[in-house]
Amino acid sequence: MIVGVLRVELFIPEAGSLKSKRSEIRSIKERIRRSFNASVSEIDNQDLWQRGTLGIAVVGSSAPFVQETLDRITGFLEKNWAHLLLELSSEILHL
């Protein structure tokens, strides 16, 4: 089993409250889930208004498939939310 993990640090300057930040995060999470069938969760900075950290996981039977999916998710994020991205990091785990 191959697991790909992507950590995404976001800065949301227009968020004036936790409610507006969570709305933006929820929108991003749902679009990733629908488009890539990946598991997505907010994993850090839940109590900060303008910061968010997403964890995205993809599971597959081959490393090339998992890496390609992570690359497509990264491209999707960069295309749609480049102005919000602070940092992206990925890792492939062979279990």
Q: Give the start-to-end residue ranges of the domains of the chain.
A: 2-94
CA pair distance 44, 56, nearest whole angstrom: 12
Q: What are phi and psi of 57, to 5 degrees?
A: -125, 140
Is domain 2-94 annotated with CATH 3.30.70.1120? yes
User: In the numeric block, which tokens belong to residue 26?
Assistant: 């929820």
Per-residue pLDDT of the chain (95 residues; tens, 9 = 90+): 999 999 999 999 999 999 999 999 999 999 999 999 999 999 998 899 899 999 999 999 999 999 999 999 999 999 999 999 999 999 999 99
